[in-house]
Structure 1
């Protein structure tokens, strides 16, 4: 009896992070595809390997923003790296569509590997790209099936996905898994799902609204034909088994890579007796050396990005730096007011809401650079003005108030905003109205003051409110916003709007009117 071993290596949610830096200050962080490339090279020496990316690959870092803004006509640097690393397949993430179909089609054409999309079809019902591929390695036939969360339609600008239909990810995965088993002679079926888990993996407890954004638990427990699930989207780090299936999710920004080692037991007559698989995560460290060839490939774009990020475009009079992100969500911070003021200025709306997207120190230094802007406003949002009723505003505020809870006399972030992933970007702060939260009250009854121009808001009156294109879709449990009338759309990336505003107002005075309070 002999045992053959092969391995699946999988990245996910790289978000354009190649070099080991988040573009703030440190240039040797434990992240980035350049470091993972070193691990990939080492693992390939050990045994035959299939390399897959699970989506959200081409968008999300300052470097991808720079490339798209200033050199989109040149070959995509992320794809150059992926080609060098000889990926076997990539799955579409929801952020692959942020730059529109023209950019995405160019990316697909530049790729030396297939992009898989079993649940994305064109208007005539044909697959957008291949649903799956078959890879044979060491005599073992692997089917690699790709599906993407169908919530893309809720988040993405319609123009960016015009002509495409996103079918239910679970239904598509189930259909194609059965079809592959019935029509292909395979040994292992790998589902690559750019989506996460709606339930606790260990207990099955529902963790979020069962609306279909994440269906990984259901796929794991109900689709018998699948052997391995590579998941993503939630930026979690998972390696476990569910009902005999190997389950992995390799975080974000290249902090780790998933490995599924497959062992094939063969008898003396060369007959296959069994196949088993074991999931694990392999982590970058400060000591992992970035891959030399990858660094050389990315260097021209990376160095231009670094230089561009350090160009000063304006100055701040006062303080727009955030030392404590949690406190900035409890007591209004001048940076938040500044972003809301920009949204109101460029849209003409008298009410605005925005979020602080991450839990790290940030804000703008006195000498403002592009680095400050793109490392604070980290998403490719545009703006929309919606016509909302006073009741809509009240409901939106109540949803944001659910961000907090009180434990042992201390104000804390509610578990629903931390598990299965942190969601600081789903807590909005408003300008143009005056309001108060009392977190000691039950959820749904926490808004204790809501005023507009000095008078209590009439819940039946209508108001024009500017917000991110993401929030305007109703994402983040703001479902009631989804079908509200769109008064205006501003199809310019928010980072560009911020930069343009500062260029027009090169000396910014930090202000804070404290129009809202949180008590408990």
Structure 2
């Protein structure tokens, strides 16, 4: 009898709970690091391309048929730089509604976040974009220096079906090591973990959210930059600061989807869709609500491929005028090259591609020495007519051009650091010339370190002995004009603003200049980006024949020449 009563009690409790509970399902879609890839067309190579907002919108519309207004579309930054489509509306057409704001409003984004390449566009660009968005662009750790308050909204509360979702937005704080202060004047960038520790209690006490999301323009694997900035701290925050259900990542262009436990043993979903809209972070949240209280929560994430989807015809029709405007812009002829140039030879010795940049930097600044690196891993500009589109291949980023004062000793230290992360220490003729790592997918090899930090020099004659250990490879024989090179003398050096602000740490770790002293070394900075001056330079010259300057080489050549052939095949074939 007692057993029957117990069964009836359980059944009664179940029926009572069922009568008062309801299920709420939410779908979150994250884009990140779109880099101006709005259309399924690469305006640089002038070819059809994968990813894009046009394909993402196809997926969003498809999922909205199921989730309706419970689908929440979020962007995680680095959207204002990359393809010429962003550049055109950043700097050429500054009267129209910015293409990025227009598209994000059309697609129905509920929240955005600032990325470091958005800051790179400068105040006039990102302030205009933010103002034109019909949703908040977040940045809890972007601080006004005038009053110590956040420059942007720290977090957003979104309500759907009685569920409160809190989204805390942050940016990686190492921006002062990459970008000129003129681009972020009046701002500072606080530590992400400290900022999260401040805002999570405020959000929990004031808002009492049911779901807490970190929208972080930062990757998963933390490291310290310039001895003070904690870069890519997303996983650290997930582990150390309880309260987050989900952390959406970006910045490092590395796909990831997985769960980790925080300090209280709760599960936190980490997700990163990488770049260019080829993948989205796709999250399903199921909540059981009893009255006004969530009694059960299930969160599942996956990375969903966009490449196989057809671009939305509705989207393409809506933005046809912008598409045509950008296509006309990139089709403008700038000049003519009589030679095909490629970044591939630049990893093994002097190349016409990098030495063209060196020559331009020296010509524009009147400096003694130039530093430059291949900003694209594998770029080529064919002989013939050069158009605006080619200029984005020649120079990938909107860096300014700096002239800095460095001693001969600092120049040597800079180059030692560059070649230390670039070249192997060969023990035999059969070794790799370069520092290479097998790709995780098993499809060939890639560089161990980012190739955009492989700076060579022009204006000096030097050798790189790859049999020597790091820090002992470089021998500078003279200036290019034959004058002696003096380690104690101060020289004027042309280099881009990313490097001049400490990017890649070649000036800090290599040359030994403290981060806070770099700005004191800058004697001149251009007002516009280097690509702008390149366009004007080529227009003025009309026809150019880029050639290697042949001012440096790797030795011993009996080893390096054959090793270069082997490594080139591993990298490019």
Instruction: Check whether TM > 0.5.
Output: yes
Q: Tell me the number of residue pairs that the alignment of Structure 1 and Structure 2 aligns.
A: 509
Q: Which segment drifts farther, 444-453 or 504-513?
A: 444-453
Aligned to 1:202: none
3-state SS, counterpart of residue 72 of structure 1 = coil
Distance in 2 separating the partners of 1:266 and 1:100: 45
1:359 paired with 2:377, answer: yes
Q: 1:427 aligns to what?
A: 454
Partner of 1:404, secondary structure, is coil
| 1:3 Cα deviation after fit | 5.0
Residue in structure 1 matched with residue 164 of structure 2 by the alignment:
141
* Equivalent in the alignment of 1:104: 126
Q: Is the contact between residue 198 and residue 209 of structure 1 (CA under 8 Å) also seen in structure 2?
A: no
2:484 is the counterpart of 1:465: no
Indicate whether 1:304 and 2:325 are aligned: yes
Query: 1:136 offset after TM fit, Å?
Result: 1.8
Aligned to 1:316: 337
- 2:264: which partner in 1? none
Secondary structure at the counterpart of residue 262 of structure 1: strand
The answer to whether residue 474 in structure 2 is matched with residue 447 in structure 1 is yes
Is the partner of 2:30 in helix, strand or coil?
Answer: strand
Residue 209 of structure 1, CA deviation: 7.8
Do structure 1's residue 487 and structure 2's residue 519 form an aligned pair?
A: no
Q: How does 1:45-444 map to 2 (within 5 A)?
A: 45-47=65-67, 48-122=70-144, 123-199=146-222, 211-243=229-261, 244-265=267-288, 272-285=294-307, 287-317=308-338, 319-322=339-342, 325-401=343-419, 402-405=421-424, 409-414=431-436, 423-444=450-471
Question: Partners of 1:449 and 1:124 in 2: how far apart?
Answer: 49
Query: 1:477 maps to which residue?
Result: 505
Residue pair 1:234, 1:421 contacting (<8 A) in 2 also: no
Cα distance in 1 for residues equivalent to 2:503 and 2:118: 18
Deviation at 1:380, TM superposition (A): 0.5
Contact 1:141 1:188 in 2 (8 A): yes
Larger Rg: 2
After TM superposition, give the deviation of residue 44 of structure 1 in Å: 2.1
Looking at structure 2, the residues matched to 9 and 419 of structure 1 have their Cα atoms a distance apart, in angstroms, of: 31
Secondary structure in structure 2 of the residue aligned to 1:400: helix
Deviation sequence 1:52-85 (CA, Å, 0-9, x none):
1011112221112222332112110111000001
Could you tell me whether the CA contact under 8 Å between 2:40 and 2:55 is conserved in 1? yes
1:347 Cα deviation from its structure 2 partner: 0.9
Q: Deviations over 1:70-113 (max 9, x none)?
A: 21121101110000011111011112222322222221221100
Q: Which runs of 5+ in 2 are unaligned?
A: 1-17, 262-266, 440-444, 561-573
Please say if residues 77 and 297 of structure 1, whose CA atoms lie closer than 8 Å, have aligned partners that are also in contact.
no
What SS is found at the alignment partner of 2:402?
Answer: strand
- CA spacing shift, 1:208–1:383, aligned 2, 3 Å: closer
Alignment check: 8 A CA contact 1:9 1:52 kept: yes
Give the alignment partner of residue 517 of structure 1, picking from 547, 550, 553: 553
Tell me the distance in 2 between the aligned counterparts of 1:67 and 1:301.
9
Q: More displaced, 53-62 or 475-484?
A: 475-484
Q: Give 1 or 2: higher helix fraction.
A: 2
2:549 and 2:143 map into 1 onto residues whose CA distance is 49
Gaps of 5+ in 1: 200-205
> What secondary structure sits across from 2:504 in the alignment?
coil
Give yes or no for the alignment of 1:7 onto 2:27. yes
- Summarize the Cα distance change of 1:10–1:180 in structure 2 as closer, same or farther, 3 Å threshold: same
Q: Indicate conservation of the 8 Å contact 1:246/1:260, yes or no.
A: no
Q: CA RMSD for the aligned pairs?
A: 2.5
The residue matched to 1:10 in structure 2 has which SS?
A: strand
- Please report the TM-score for the alignment, with normalisation by the length of structure 2: 0.83
Q: How far did residue 196 of structure 1 move? A: 1.3
Residue 16 of structure 1 pairs with residue 36 of structure 2: yes
Kindly state the Cα deviation for residue 262 of structure 1 after the two structures are TM-superposed: 1.3
| SS of residue paired to 1:458 | coil
Rounded to whole Å, the distance in 1 between the matches of 2:336 and 2:32 is 38
Matched residue SS, 1:412? coil
**Conserved? CA contact 2:418–2:454, under 8 Å:** yes
Q: TM-score, normalised by structure 1?
A: 0.91
3-state SS in 2 of match to 1:304: helix
Q: 1:140 Cα shift?
A: 2.3
How many Å apart are 1:440 and its aligned residue? 3.0
1:414-442 per-residue CA deviation (whole Å, 9 max, x = no partner) reads: 45999999622111121101222223322
CA contact under 8 A between 2:436 and 2:446: conserved in structure 1? no
CA contact (8 A) 2:344 2:378 kept: no
Residue 499 of structure 1 is aligned with which of 507, 525, 535? 535
Give the Cα–Cα distance (whole angstroms) in 1 for the partners of residues 382 and 531 of structure 2.
Answer: 13
Partner deviation per Cα, 1:243-297 (whole Å, 9 max, x = no partner): 1211111111111111121122457x88633212122111122x42112232233
Whole-Å separation in 2 of the counterparts to 1:420 and 1:141: 45
CA distance in structure 1 between the aligned counterparts of 2:425 and 2:318, rounded to whole angstroms: 50
Q: Which moved more, 1:206-215 or 1:167-176?
A: 206-215
CA contact (8 A) 1:347 1:490 kept: no
